[in-house]
Structure 1
Amino acid sequence: MSYIAVIGAGSWGTTLASLLSKKGFDVVIWAREKEIADAINSKKENPIYLPNIKLPHNLISTDDILEAIKKARFIVNVVPTQHIRSVFTSLQNKLNDENIVVSASKGIEKGTLKTPSMILEEIINKKVYVLSGPTFAIEVAQEKPTAVTISGSEKRGRLLLQEIFSTSYFRVYEHDDPIGAEIGGAIKNVIAIAAGICDALELGNNARAALITRGLHEIMRLGKKMGAKEITFSGLSGLGDLFLTCTSNLSRNYTVGYRLGKGESLDEISKSMRSIAEGVETSLSAMQLSKKLDVEMPITTEIYQVIYEGKTPQQAASDLMNRTLKPEFY
């Protein structure tokens, strides 16, 4: 019952593995890089993705994914969205009816336009729960108060996972709208890039407030078209995650936007970051999804054009302000 496999040893995966280990669960974290697995085992630290955070003595790491899941009843996906398919294909037909799978990744897969849980369900043929909300890994690792939500179709599973993940500093709510949680978690990264550009251009607090509010409407329109519940977007995986990511330089997506706004090229920014912000690739998928579902997403479209078509941030801001006038709610 107590064995948990965390798949993905980035900052968030390492943080969740640490949290669960501290609660006394037997946790194995899979790392793609052998040197990270070795460092977690020998030094009890992830020096690349979560430096200067001491990890629990009982946390074990491996670079063998089949070894990681061998005893696990619970499997937590924290693999970047664009790599979920390649990683989890190796686990096809390796899981059993007792396994419970949770996804803590955010994004939309290029090409298929699927969310993380959709990708996983296609590969492993099981319903997947979604863990999402406003979370900077470093703050959770430092045990600062955080609230998230676990969502999925089965109440019993949600309540079990709520108990498993909850701690005195990590409060877990639950609801039944995983698609809403995932769309909120994916598109907020695109809006955060826009927020970074907004601040870099010194457009002011009024502009940032308007951007976040209208960005939320884009997220809601897309989510509802995909079958999500409107109320989800007023919650932790919607407004909560959007506000966090759009207002702090701890956000990689905000930082990418800020640097774009200051005139750096995406190539320059990418070379200086170990892993590029998820919103860069999500902007492409989100733009394609908006066209496919006929959902108006002007902020997302502008960010896509800045990143992929060479449009200047200044022109993107001007074009957003000079669109055809319309009602606020439609």
Structure 2
Amino acid sequence: MNQPTKIITIIGAGVWGTALGKLVSRNHHDLRLWSRQSPESLETAIDDADVILSAVSIQGVRPTVEHLKTLEIPQKTIFLSATKGLDPVTTLTASQIWQEAFPNHYHVVLSGPNLSVEIEQNLPAATVVSSQNIQAAAAIQLILSSDTFRVYVNSDPQGTELGGTLKNVMAIASGVCDGLNLGTNAKAALLTRALPEMIRVGTLLGAKQETFFGLSGLGDLLATCNSPLSRNYQVGYRLGQGQTLDEIIVALKGTAEGINTTEVLLKIAQKQNLYVPIAYQVYRLLKGEITSQEAVKNLMARDLKAEQD
């Protein structure tokens, strides 16, 4: 695909940032992969960048934003957020934090069923880039698309971001299900009920319901809840196997954003009186209040009701 070479600065050189960097490099753009361990300054890394892609954890978003606010960023620069999480203090998504800090720039969200290891192996995948400015999303689509990475656009960044964020909670529950060897029927029931729970939260927070039936919702849910490559799935699986959360975190390579997201989600649910039974049991399990077996028993013991209630 012939296109002008762009300067793409990726902030965050973890597994996700590195995988995204390979996508950029395969399309022959000028890649600058930066982390706090980089020898060059952040100011140098973003100099004249066409896109600043944030692949830091949710905990790293605010410090990164505050650092960048001290620098001069060209008006042409598009901010692309690839972080899946909720800020523990404000409950905002990553892109909402970026938009508050840089209101005069275009902002795009990237989310989809994109396991880092498979992206690095150049296996076929698809994703969504979303923005309130569809031209900005289309520009990112052109930069990242290739014969093995199909990029779609939509105009619901809130739904796109929340789909990728909320499914991490469900991935922990899914891992528990497999860790306990509960079988295919139980797993299917869990994932089927997980989607409407995500939609209840998402639409309350301003997302469009239909977005959750796309790649960044259902697609990401299916990928993350069925793969040992997912760190959130690993957390749940090991909890189901009887390990403690502290033991799991020490052994885990990278951050499982679903742990923090679960806590923030419960904060939102309690404030809004929102029904989130799966997330609630995951929360209690992560806090050590119940065992994996008790979490399953509690979900099965809920009041009987109509499926579409």
2:57 is aligned to 80
Aligned equivalent of 1:20, options 24, 34, 40: 24
Aligned equivalent of 2:283, options 304, 309, 312: 304
- Aligned mates of 2:170, 2:16 — CA distance in 1: 21
The answer as to 2:259 corresponding to 1:280 is yes
1:97 is aligned to 75
CA displacement, residues 48-84 of structure 1 (integer Å, 9 cap, x when unaligned):
xxxxxxxxxxxxxx55222110121211010111111
| Amino acid paired to 1:100 | I
Aligned equivalent of 2:249, options 254, 261, 270: 270
- Aligned mates of 1:328, 1:146 — CA distance in 2: 32
CA displacement, residues 191-248 of structure 1 (integer Å, 9 cap, x when unaligned):
0000110111111111101111111111101111111111101100000000000011
User: What's the CA shift for 1:92?
Assistant: 0.7
TM-aligned CA distance change 1:63 to 1:324, over 3 Å: farther
Q: Which moved more, 1:90-99 or 1:199-208?
A: 90-99
Name the SS of the counterpart of 1:174 in structure 2: strand
2:34 is aligned to 30
1:134 is aligned to 113
**Are 1:31 and 1:63, in contact at CA under 8 Å, matched by a contact in 2?**
no
The answer as to 2:280 corresponding to 1:295 is no
Q: Which moved more, 1:132-141 or 1:18-27?
A: 18-27
- Aligned mates of 1:32, 1:294 — CA distance in 2: 40
2:174 is aligned to 195
Name the SS of the counterpart of 1:140 in structure 2: helix
Name the SS of the counterpart of 1:75 in structure 2: strand
Aligned equivalent of 1:110, options 67, 88, 92: 88
The answer as to 2:6 corresponding to 1:2 is yes
2:152 is aligned to 173
User: What's the CA shift for 1:93?
Assistant: 4.9
- Aligned mates of 2:297, 2:308 — CA distance in 1: 22
Name the SS of the counterpart of 1:101 in structure 2: strand
Name the SS of the counterpart of 2:49 in structure 1: coil
User: What's the CA shift for 1:32?
Assistant: 2.1
1:69 is aligned to 46
- Aligned mates of 1:246, 1:22 — CA distance in 2: 28
CA displacement, residues 164-199 of structure 1 (integer Å, 9 cap, x when unaligned):
110110000000111101111111111000011011
Name the SS of the counterpart of 1:237 in structure 2: helix
Name the SS of the counterpart of 1:182 in structure 2: helix
Give me the CA root mean square deviation: 1.3
Name the SS of the counterpart of 2:303 in structure 1: coil
Q: Which moved more, 1:91-100 or 1:297-306?
A: 91-100
User: What's the CA shift for 1:274?
Assistant: 3.6
1:122 is aligned to 100
- Aligned mates of 2:230, 2:95 — CA distance in 1: 23
Percent identity, please. 42
**Are 1:181 and 1:238, in contact at CA under 8 Å, matched by a contact in 2?**
yes
Name the SS of the counterpart of 1:79 in structure 2: coil
Number of aligned pairs?
Answer: 303
User: What's the CA shift for 1:27?
Assistant: 1.2
| Amino acid paired to 1:141 | E
The answer as to 2:207 corresponding to 1:228 is yes
Gapped regions of structure 2 (runs ≥ 5): none
Q: What TM-score do you get using the length of structure 1 for normalisation?
A: 0.89
- Aligned mates of 1:263, 1:33 — CA distance in 2: 36
Gapped regions of structure 1 (runs ≥ 5): 35-61
- Aligned mates of 2:74, 2:266 — CA distance in 1: 37
Name the SS of the counterpart of 1:326 in structure 2: coil
Q: What TM-score do you get using the length of structure 2 for normalisation?
A: 0.95
Name the SS of the counterpart of 2:108 in structure 1: strand
| Amino acid paired to 1:241 | D
| Amino acid paired to 1:88 | V
- Aligned mates of 2:85, 2:302 — CA distance in 1: 28
- Aligned mates of 2:187, 2:141 — CA distance in 1: 34
User: What's the CA shift for 1:13?
Assistant: 0.6
